[in-house]
Amino acid sequence: MSNKQFSHLDSQGRARMVDVTDKSETRRQAVAGARLRMQPATLAMIRDNAHPKGDVLATARIAGIQAAKKTWDLIPLCHPLMLTGVKVEIEPEGDDCLVITALCKLKGVTGVEMEALTAASVAALTLYDMCKAVDRGMVIEQVCLLEKQGGRSGHFVRDAPGSDDD
């Protein structure tokens, strides 16, 4: 790691938006994940609601998609970009956890991992918001990059996603 650097800082440690003017467009995508750990009774309520007409999961999906589009505004040194596809999935895992997976796609000059991570985080926060009246002790865990394609850094796949904090 000796020759690596924080690309978002100049040689004097000052923040800047990295110059990508001369990079060429490629097809890019990233997948990020998050987990919301809760009491089993809370997950049971979400499941009950989820079936017929409840808006809990739909609201969180929408919030995640919209947050992906605002990543450039939330993360100060992110480049503005025009996402060409976003998908947020939320699935229960065991009896006390919701797993959020966010996929972002782009034909452009910068990667979209921050967009996928932001989508997953905000979807998790939205689920928290909708359930906090019944369970204040929920925890968002394991927000991380699962997979990334396109760009110079090549194909990244996280080893055994989620395994290291269970």
> Catalytic residues, which ones?
129
Is 97 part of any known ligand binding site? no
Please tell me whether residue 33 adopts helix, strand or coil conformation.
strand
Q: Nearest distance from residue 142's CB to a second copy, in Å? A: 6
CB atoms within 10 A of CB 62: 14
Closer to a second copy by CB, 78 or 99: give it: 78
Is 144 part of any known ligand binding site? no
Q: Nearest distance from residue 139's CB to a second copy, in Å? A: 4
C-alpha separations of 75 from 71, 118, 132 in Å: 6, 9, 26
Is 79 part of any known ligand binding site? yes
Nearest residue to 110 via CA among 150, 64, 142 = 150
Q: Nearest distance from residue 144's CB to a second copy, in Å? A: 4
Report the DSSP beta bridge partners of residue 72.
Answer: none
Binding site per annotation, positions for substrate: 77-79, 114-115
Binding site per annotation, positions: 77-79, 114-115
